Structure 1
Amino acid sequence: MIFASMQQLNFPAYPFRFKNRENKVHIFDQIRKKFIQLQPEEWVRQHVVSFLISEKKYPKSLINVEKELIINTLKKRYDVLVYHTDGSIALIVECKAPSVKITQTTFDQIARYNLTVKAKFLMVTNGIDHYFCKMDYEQEKYIFLKDIPAYML
């Protein structure tokens, strides 16, 4: 199997496309429409994208992957953003490699990103553990959820 070195994640199995280039395995990103070198964090990110499309029914056209974000003059890159049709942001996702524990630092990172994007929902995952939150902007806190809502028009 081409991706035998990648561990099983806590997501359904998805039919990913792979190819070898220069002795490195690449996975096809259906949002960016190109092959991306397969790294542990990318493995998680591709599962998240497939989860959002297949399980949560978010349209591909509303999903954005790995774009630059300016935070206090620093250039950062978010993992996944999901937009509403009006252009506001429904969800921001922070992906970590399966070997990376989800800690307060991870939540602090996504909270900093969210100060700029102002998403209604947050998801933090390392592919094994998933955390879902809804933002309460009036109380300035997150409300932890069992799951994120499916796409609604």
Structure 2
Amino acid sequence: MNQEDFPPFPFPQLTIPTFEPRLDFKEDKWWIFDSLRKKFLVLTPEEWVRQHWIQFLILGKNYPKGLFSIEKGMKYNSLQKRTDVLVFDRNGLPYLLIECKAPEVKLNAQVLSQAMTYLHRIECPHLILSNGLNHLVFSWSEKENKLLQSQDLPKSPN
């Protein structure tokens, strides 16, 4: 299949810094190469957001590749759940949780509640909620004993 035979790319430009993704179109679907899992994945709107965050943190913010865990499974109230992106610190402790949503999904109280469930379960100090167009950043305040919204991304856990 030639490049001219590909259908129009269906995903929007995001407000996360862009990168040059390895894309393919086969089996009537778009695929994207995940550099952490070292394989092509079906490109869904959520995956489009996830891959932008992964590449931005690695290339733009110097987060070490080896500290990432993608779609890590966990049990919560006997249900199997998965975190979208989890970054660990150098001691192997959860450091940053990113909950990715499709661009058309609004970041609302329900999305925050879902992420908070994961956050408390894994005891992670930083959280990002993102649909690729809008982003909410939170960090745990020991002083206030609660999660506070922040304007800044957590620094790299180098």
Counterparts of 1:82-93 in structure 2 under 5 Å? 82-93=87-98
CA drift at 1:152: 4.2
Alignment gaps of 5+ in structure 2: none
Q: Which has the larger radius of gyration?
A: 2
Contact kept, 8 Å, 2:18 with 2:56, in 1: the verdict is no
CA drift at 1:12: 1.5
CA drift at 1:56: 1.5
The match for 2:107 among 58, 81, 102 is: 102
Contact kept, 8 Å, 2:98 with 2:129, in 1: the verdict is yes
Q: AA paired with 1:75?
A: Q
What is the match of residue 9 of structure 2?
Answer: 4
Instruction: State the alpha-carbon separation in 1 of the partners of residues 45 and 120 from structure 2.
Output: 27
Identity value in percent:
38
SS at match of 2:107: coil
1:24 is aligned to 2:29: yes
SS at match of 2:58: helix
Normalised TM-score (structure 1): 0.93
Instruction: State the alpha-carbon separation in 2 of the partners of residues 73 and 141 from structure 1.
Output: 26
Normalised TM-score (structure 2): 0.91
The match for 1:131 among 118, 124, 136 is: 136
Q: AA paired with 1:74?
A: L
